[in-house]
Amino acid sequence: MNENNQAASRPKILAHRECRIGPVQCGPRTISLVVPCYNEEEMLPITISELYGFLSECVAEGLAGADSEIILVDDGSRDRTWELISRAAEEHSAIRGLKLSRNRGHQNALLAGLEKAEGDFIISLDADLQDDINVIKDMIRAAENGMDIALGVRKKRETDSPFKRLSAEGFYKLMSFLKVNLVYNHADFRGLSRRAVAALMEYKEVNLFLRGIIPELGFPTVLIYYDRKERAAGETKYPLRKMLSFAWQGVTSFSTFPLKFVSFLGLLMATGSLAVVAWALSVHFFTDNAIPGWTSTVVPLLFTSGVQLLGLGIIGEYLGKMYLETKRRPRYFIEKTTDDESRTKP
């Protein structure tokens, strides 16, 4: 069965695409909730029941179309995450699961879910439900008012550890200094229209940093502020190492400032060394103590070689990125989906 047949086989109560009156859409939009999950066995039972209850409520209130869906993406988990997803999909036809062939990281898992989503308005959120799901209703209303992009923005960071708070603030300050267009305190809790998702799919980069790409799309955007809760179960899947590498990804994927900074440093060193040469010559010609000291030779030598190495390192960092990008490697593989599983069942 191909993709189209598959979509057609799912119940469609309101065929609102056929009942458009001019630009106005009749009937509520179908909503897709996309949730990346990595080792979330502790959290998933709560998440699934809350999200399912919430989506049913949205449908009952006329905010979401009857064929709205929840897409759970298993990002190569090593625990019972897929088992739980697969069982939930059996119980509720509105729940669909994707299993990536291995752990590809939050951003790729999210993208896989966005690509598979069939809704008119597609909302991404984390599996730990730290983001207030009631904000989703505001996102849907924003979509009804013609917005393509609704970004959830955290009001405060008091539920974070002091370290996470400080490092996040430092990161956003650094990014704004580097002139990278980021929305302060917006992570990956957002709603996107179909055309915004289609535009996002045009970005083929392997080093994904979605929150940097979204502001570049430029469709009508609204910011919705909310309070973020603490994780109810399980632990963060973003330890320090992953967080730092994600931040570095953000810097090097969107800014060439570090490269320019190295050139600037090189220029500074070169002009500085001219002054040293002038000083050495003046000592040589106008004084009697012109024995060149070991320190004055070795120290600049070490310093300049250090700067050169730093420069090479940063250039190498970008070169590595270009290397990966030019290969155009696939960003993920879907091992199986709950749609396949339900089809193969007798």
Q: Point out which residues bind ligand UDP (CB under 6 A).
A: 36-38, 40, 75, 103, 105-106, 109, 126-128, 130, 236-238
Cα–Cα separations (whole angstroms), residue 58 to 61, 62, 133, 135, 146? 5, 6, 11, 12, 19
Give the residue with the Cβ less far from ligand UDP, 29 or 237: 237
Contact 73, 101 (CB under 8 A): no
Q: Does 188 bind Mg ion (CB under 5 A)?
A: no
Cα–Cα separations (whole angstroms), residue 204 to 4, 118, 210, 250, 311? 24, 21, 12, 16, 28
Give the residue with the Cβ less far from Mg ion, 29 or 237: 237
Q: What type of residue is 215?
A: P
Contact 19, 27 (CB under 8 A): yes
Compute the least distance from the CB of residue 130 to ligand UDP, in Å. 6
Residues 147 and 218: their CA atoms lie apart, in Å, by 11
Residue with structure tokens 């047949």? 5
Per CB under 5 A, the segment of 30-38, 129-137, 195-203, 274-282 that binds Mg ion is: 129-137
Give the residue with the Cβ less far from ligand UDP, 91 or 235: 235
Give the residue with the Cβ less far from ligand UDP, 55 or 59: 55
The residues facing 190 across adjacent strands are 124, 151
Q: Does 130 bind Mg ion (CB under 5 A)?
A: yes
- If binding means CB under 5 A, how many residues of this protein chain bind Mg ion? 3
Compute the least distance from the CB of residue 244 to ligand UDP, in Å. 13
Q: Mention every residue, 6+ apart, whose C-beta is less than 8 A from residue 337.
A: 96, 97, 98, 99, 116
Compute the least distance from the CB of residue 336 to ligand UDP, in Å. 17
Give the residue with the Cβ less far from ligand UDP, 29 or 106: 106
Q: What is the largest CA-CA distance in the chain?
A: 100
Q: Does 69 bind Mg ion (CB under 5 A)?
A: no
Give the residue with the Cβ less far from Mg ion, 120 or 188: 188
Backbone angles phi, psi at 167, to 5 degrees: -70, -35
Compute the least distance from the CB of residue 106 to Mg ion, in Å. 10
Q: Does 124 bind Mg ion (CB under 5 A)?
A: no
Q: Which two tokens stand for residue 125?
A: 């959120």
Binding to Mg ion by CB under 5 A, coded x per residue (else -) over 80-119, reads ----------------------------------------
Q: Does 120 bind Mg ion (CB under 5 A)?
A: no
Note the residues at the interface with Mg ion (CB under 5 A): 126, 128, 130
